[in-house]
Structure 1
Amino acid sequence: MNYRHSMTCYTEGIRPVAPVQWRGLDGMMSVFWDAEGQSGARAYYLSPDPRIVIFFNDVSPHIRMSNREGGFGQHDRPMTRALYVPAGVPLWTNFTSTHRFSHLDLHLHKDRLLRFLSPSVGTSAALAALRRPVEIQDVRVIETLASLVVDEVSNPSKHPVFAESLVGSIVAGLLDIPEHGAEPTNGRLTQAQMKKLISRVNDRPDCRLTVAEMAGTVGLSESWFANVFKQTTGKTPLQWQLGRRIELAQKLLSESDLTVADIAAQLGFSDQAHLTKAFRQIAGETPAAWRRLQQHR
């Protein structure tokens, strides 16, 4: 399949520090960048095709990303080592400090991905996976595969099918493809989606995400997510999230000497009274009374 990727891209304060390396393959384009972004640098990306970005160094302390225009400060998050961006999903990035980085961009034709995935997982599951964004920090095997792709992009030594098979392995390892029989049924979240959501919430020190951020984590619209989440857990997203924050408060009460006020501040409650009210609603006791009970057991 002859394929030329098309992407709207605006950058400011980012410059390549070495010649860009690229190679066209069957239904995909592989591009390797070695670049530097200045503090305050920013960029915008929008592609009609799916794409994968794999960084070869940790950029999370230096680059923030958002899928909303003007979302920095409210709806942004650290850039991860690898991400899959579905077709038509916009991405804004912002550098908080000067940083040199290298990454592999894989621009992929949707039909090529379907041709690769459908025989193994089915067309329905493949289409669902292509709609779900993925962001991971632990890249391990994927980084090794990406390095091999870069070698074939920079100095082709084998038939193109070798590089194409490497990209296929990256796709299979990165995309959120449900295990056999794990497709959503009756409007419920899959086990993989719940695991991803729990991991995302746990990564936040205060365990707080907006419903929009929770929906984006599993690749669903905010309204549809709220509906299927209630079907899955029996709770609204914010009720469930509050329950996890109270569980963390209980852990801190039993395993640390932090005051109730300190715990309230750490978990993002407005003050001690706010935590006490929420804690009593869920646990049936005030934090102080609950701690005393634990100490006498």
Structure 2
Amino acid sequence: MTFQPRMQNRIEGFSVIGDLRRRNWNGVVADLWDVECAPGAGGYYVAQDPRLVVVLDMKGGRNGKVSFAPSRNGTTVEQRRHTLSYIPAGMELWAELRDVEYIRHLDLHFNIEALGRRLMEDLDPVRLSDPRLMFQDPRFLALAELIAAECDNPDPLHNLYGDGLTVALFVDLMRVPLARSRKRSQLASWQLRRATDFIEANCLRGIRLEELSQLTGLSQSYFSHAFKASTGVAPHQWQMNLRIEKAKQLLLETDVPLTIVASDTGFSDQAHFTRTFRRVVGATPSNWKKSRRT
């Protein structure tokens, strides 16, 4: 399902020039706005997803300024153009424009779950929740300018171009370290026991990774890596091994056809069952059964 930013706002004094330019890449939505501003323009915003707001250009009087505050009565931070603001999910943002007639800004909305899966990393919750209002960084600005140009491009380039730019900016913004420089820890004993008990009790149906991660209080990416570090196999392979053990029991104790064995142990059909059995055991179900009865 395509990621859609979720935001509430109450604003006045803004008039969008032309159409919103929106691009949706893997885990990031980029919105490019050109806006005319009336005197006293401003408003209130709150979003359910974190975002980065980049003031690319601004025109107006000599004293033109944009002010952001984390609450209605909070301390304001003022800047002119070429500034960036990282706003965590759920944070109120109050904006006020003074002596500004026109503003061009880029909004990058981040799907944290999707980006965490892509990066195979557990993103730092402290950094994710730490607002940074009206800062300047030439590296981020250079990437933002390229992203904005692609949003405005009438002949868009391959999605990998914008995808790479947005992920690069996010990685730098969140200071995501090189993956191999961090060692994954194993699950705690209670987490491993809870996960394996759940898989065993439900191994004949499809188990979603989300279910297992919620049981252990971890993100999906972290749980998957920690489970493999603890057991030597991925959660899905653990489930397949349990199904194969149940199939072995049926093969030894009954003479039901392989189609029934496959159905009773959660496989989609006999062919799927046979392929999986051979990969795990090293022999087809029929040959394995014969070897155990001789």
Q: TM-score, normalised by structure 1?
A: 0.52
Deviations 1:150-172 (A, max 9, x none): 22222253221221110111112
Larger Rg: 2
| Structure 1 contact 129–175 (Cα < 8 Å) conserved | yes
Give the counterpart of 1:83 among 78, 85, 98.
85
Q: Which amino acid is 1:146 matched to?
A: A
Is the contact between residue 114 and residue 127 of structure 1 (CA under 8 Å) also seen in structure 2? no
Q: Residues 113 and 133 of structure 1: is their aligned pair in 2 closer, same or farther, counting only changes over 3 Å? A: farther
**CA shift at 1:61, angstroms?**
4.6
The 5 Å alignment of 1:158-237 reads 158-175=157-174
Counterpart pick for 1:64 among 61, 67, 79: 67
Alignment-derived partner of residue 14 in structure 1: 14
Counterpart of 1:266 in structure 2 is: none
What SS is found at the alignment partner of 2:18? Answer: coil
Shift of 1:135: 3.0
8 Å Cα contact 2:150-2:157 kept in structure 1:
yes
Aligned CA distance change for structure 1 residues 167 and 34 (closer, same or farther; 3 Å): same
Instruction: For 1:114 and 1:50, locate their aligned partners in 2 and report how far apart those are by CA, in whole Å.
Output: 13
| Aligned match of 1:46 | 46
Q: Separation in 2 of the partners of 1:113 and 1:79? A: 30
Q: How does 1:1-297 map to 2 (within 5 A)?
A: 2-57=2-57, 61-71=64-74, 75-79=75-79, 81-117=83-119, 119=120, 122-123=121-122, 126-155=124-153, 156-175=155-174
Deviations 1:181-220 (A, max 9, x none): 9xxxxxxxxxxxxxxxxxxxxxxxxxxxxxxxxxxxxxxx
Greater fraction strand:
2
Give unpaired runs (5+ residues) of structure 1: 182-297
Gaps (5+ residues) in structure 2?
183-294
What RMSD over aligned residues (CA atoms) do the two structures have, in Å? 2.7
Instruction: Indicate conservation of the 8 Å contact 1:149/1:166, yes or no.
Output: yes
Aligned residue for 1:152, secondary structure, equals helix
User: In structure 2, the residue corresponding to 1:158 is in which secondary structure?
Assistant: coil
Output one character per residue of 1:134-161: Cα deviation in whole Å (capped at 9) or x when no partner: 2353232222211221222222532212
User: What are the Cα deviations for residues 8-58 of structure 1, in whole angstroms up to 9, with x where unaligned?
Assistant: 022101112232211122222111011122221111111100111111136
Q: Distance in 2 between matches of 1:77 and 1:128?
A: 21
Letter in 1 for 2:167: G
Quick check: 2:78–2:134 contact (8 Å CA) kept in 1? no
Q: Which amino acid aligns with 1:107?
A: H
> Per the alignment, do residues 175 and 78 of structure 1 end up closer, same or farther by CA in structure 2, a change over 3 Å counting?
farther
Contact 2:32–2:105, Cα closer than 8 Å, also in 1: yes
3-state SS, counterpart of residue 49 of structure 2: coil
Equivalent residue letter for 1:68: S
For this pair of structures, how many residues does the alignment match?
174
The Cα of 1:173 is off from its aligned counterpart by: 2.7
Do the aligned partners of residues 61 and 157 (structure 1) sit closer, same or farther apart at CA in structure 2, a change above 3 Å counting? Answer: same
The structural deviation recorded for 1:116 is 4.4
CA–CA distance in structure 1, aligned partners of residues 146 and 39 of structure 2: 31
Letter of the structure 1 residue corresponding to residue 16 of structure 2: P
